[in-house]
Each structure stands twice: as structure tokens, then as C-alpha cells.
Amino acid sequence: MDEPHPVFESDVREIPQEFRRQTVDYETKEPPSTVVVDTKRCYLFHVQEGGKATRYGVGVGKAGRTWYGAAEIKRKEKWPVWVPTPEHIAEHPKIVKWIHGMPGGKNNPMGARALYLYQGDVDTVIRIHGAYKPDLIGKRSTAGCISLLNIEVIHLYDRVELGTRVVILPPDV
């Protein structure tokens, strides 16, 4: 891959088989191209034609930190800048140095790509983004965003367009 920072396909081997990308049967009322996030099972489904979907394992928000609902992708970024929220800074005061943004790169928690979710013109502050740590996948491990391995978020990023509908399901669905 022609990337300015390291992305390792081998990271996939570090997550359980059930959280590795695969094409699966998937019944939904959502039209093809929709992204559906199942926060209960830690999966993201990119809906395809004919009752199929590409399924990715994801990390989701810790208890009480996940947003639920429908939104659309209104912005896509490669190697995005990360700006910590006030909640992040309260939990981890040392990151205040990044209050004006951490450039994209190896240590940036947003990883290789980010998909920004909006409702109308309102930024939900929820992102679908990359992760460097395979141990985050399949767990309630984030501050609210949906995280995929970098190699997987690049795969998804290349297949979704601006305007793509995203549905994040609550864990009781």
C-alpha cells in the first residue's frame, strides 16, 4: 500500500476469526450501501445486494458512551487530525497538549481513515475510524466512536461514498 504511515495487514491475524472481515448473509430493511453498526455484537455491516453484507469486527463505545440512531457520512478523511473532547481531557489530562489537534500519523487514535457522521448539518461527533490496537476489536473499548483495524477502515473507506446512510443500533436490538 502507498501510505504515509505504517498499516499492517498482519494485524488481522491478532483478532478472533469471528471479527475478521467476511461476506455474510444479512437480512435487513436497509437498502444496499447502508452501513449498519450492531453495538451488541460489535459488528459493522456494509449492506450489499441480494441479502448479503460485508461484516467487519469493530470496537464500540464503553457503557453509556455510544450514540445510537441514523446519520450520514458527510466527510471522509485520510490520516485525520484528532482533537480530544473535553471528556477525553477530563479522563486523561496529559492529552490537553492536543487541544488544537494531533496530526494524523502513527500515534493518532483516529488511525488511517475517518468517516464523519452527521444528522442534517449537525456533526454527531461520532466517527467510524481506524485503530492500531487489534485488542480493541470486538469490545466496548472506545469513547463512543466505532473503530476498525486500519486495514479494515481503509477497505470500508474505499467502498462508501459521501451521503451513505449509517445506522447505529442500541445494544438491546
Q: How far apart are CA 75 and CA 56, in angstroms?
A: 21
Which three-class secondary structure state does DSSP give residue 47?
strand
Which helix (H) or strand (E) segment is 145 a member of? none
Four-residue CA torsion sign, 73, 38, 132, 19: negative
Q: How far apart are CA 29 and CA 104, in angstroms?
A: 36
Percent helix, strand and coil across the chain, each rounded to 5?
Answer: 20, 35, 45
| Residue the block writes with cell 462508501 | 160
User: Which residues share a beta bridge with 24?
Assistant: 53
In the structure grid, which three cell numbers stand for residue 151, read together? 486495514
- The conformation of residue 88, written as its DSSP 8-state character, comes to H
Of 46, 88, 129, 155, the active-site residue reads: 129
Is 145 marked active-site? Answer: yes
Is 129 marked active-site? Answer: yes
User: Which residues share a beta bridge with 61?
Assistant: 142
Of 42, 46, 88, 145, the active-site residue reads: 145
Which residues are tagged catalytic? Answer: 129, 145
